[in-house]
Structure 1
Amino acid sequence: MMNKLKQFINDSSLKKVDMSIVVMMSHGNNIDNTGRIVHGGFTQIYGVDNEGLQIDTVLDLFSAESCRALAGKPKIFIFQCCRGDKYETLHHDAAPMRDIKRKHSDMLIAFSTLPGFYSIRDTVQGSWYIQSIYEVFKRHTKEFDVETLLKIVDQELSKKHPTYKQTSMYESRGFKCCYLNPK
């Protein structure tokens, strides 16, 4: 995965694009390379080599320093992976600095589930999260910006099963309002 990501961020055609959307779908967890569970937002996603790649490492590749072609352009990341082993169930003074560049801005990072939880998938239909993204974006892309679409995705996700629940989340890092198909 790292080789493919590096190949992507170094592609000269990125200078011509208006934005980037990266979707990564695989197994994942919140266990570091020493086998320790890391609470909070730590997440690793696994490649075919069974090696974990930290989500923060992926995001660092797209910083303004590492990927100058995308600096100042919207970058949307969608991670479909588990982030732990829990299920959700239904229950009743600073000195001024000069020439500072925003290194990690213009990013929207979407996760299929909360830190520490499983990401549920149907064995026939696939990931609940990706199903919901497909359905919502197909129906509402012309009406709403991406962040609103992700909020609707979470609402749809909450209706998938009467007992098992999954809560998606996203993080905005200086991300501006972005429409995929403006009116």
Structure 2
Amino acid sequence: MSSEAEQSTDQDAYDMSDARLALTLCITKNRAGSETDVKALEQMYEALGFKSTVRRNIPAKGFWEELEKFRDDMDQTKDPISCCFVVLMAHGEEGILQGIDSNTIELDKLFTLLNNENCQALRGKPKVFIVQACRGEQKDAGEVVQPAETGGTVLLSEKQPPKLPTFTDALHVFATVEGYIAYRNEDDGSFFIQTLVDVFTNMEGHILDLLTEVTRRMADAELMEGGKPRKVNPEVQSTLRKLLYLR
């Protein structure tokens, strides 16, 4: 039987035959374990055929400047680009990241830099933002539920309109839900990044299926903090129009 990827037509899936680029912007100072995450991400990029750039310990405005340069370089290159990953790792609160200078920058401003209006090279192409940062101070002890599970189906349009909405083809993946802490181990790295790297590197399928597996693994695990059990799950926001296969 043909694989799911083989069964997909050209209209079902993004063309990933051109260049794949990745940018990691990471605050490592006073974030023990973050270098472990960077190393894991670099191994994932290599396995998936991404050309990677890493920038560490930048001020708040540096997040904007580095991403703007990344965007401008893509727009100026003559070689077509299939996809980009942008990983943002820092201390944060809901909607903001904190730079090495303790100043902050809004995530929405960073997301806007690569939308269909502002980035010609990625117009209609998938742009994946992965955010490892706290979104508040709340902690989830978890809830007891019955074993039954529910699910849903994501419907993807097969028709491409003459124009694209400004904000399509984006995927924002957060380490935790709004208002909650994102957990990071001082030796092993962050729970979210390490789980995502393991799934993306070792499993096949389109990216939303892979992220469902990331969510399942994180939800099934129990973390201990100060002797108390904690639960955590990522949040996925997608405006993808097609299936995105990394392999």
The verdict on a shared fold, with TM-score over 0.5 as the criterion, is yes
Runs (5+) with no aligned partner, structure 2: 1-62, 145-161, 224-228
State the partner residue of 1:109.
172
- Residues 121-170 of structure 1 show CA distances to partners (whole Å, capped at 9, x for unaligned) of 11111100001011111220xx2111111110111112332521111111
- Residues 31-52 of structure 1 show CA distances to partners (whole Å, capped at 9, x for unaligned) of xxxxxxxxxxxx1012222221
The Cα of 1:15 is off from its aligned counterpart by 5.2
Report % sequence identity.
29
Q: 1:118 & 1:112 partners in 2: Cα distance? A: 9
SS in 2 for 1:132: helix
**Higher deviation after alignment, 158-167 or 109-118:** 158-167
TM-score (ref. length: structure 2): 0.62
TM-score (ref. length: structure 1): 0.82
State the partner residue of 2:82.
18
Structure-to-structure mapping, 1:109-148, within 5 angstroms: 109-140=172-203, 143-148=204-209
Give the number of aligned pairs.
161
Is 1:85 the counterpart of 2:148? The answer is no
Structure-to-structure mapping, 1:33-48, within 5 angstroms: 43-48=95-100
The Cα of 1:175 is off from its aligned counterpart by 3.8
Q: 1:174 & 1:21 partners in 2: Cα distance? A: 14
Q: 1:166 aligns with which of 204, 207, 232?
A: 232
Q: 2:78 & 2:176 partners in 1: Cα distance? A: 29
- Residues 69-95 of structure 1 show CA distances to partners (whole Å, capped at 9, x for unaligned) of 110101111001000010111334xxx
Q: 1:8 aligns with which of 48, 52, 70?
A: 70
Q: 1:128 touches 1:160 (CA, 8 Å); kept in 2?
A: no
Q: 2:124 touches 2:164 (CA, 8 Å); kept in 1?
A: no
Q: 1:156 & 1:13 partners in 2: Cα distance? A: 39
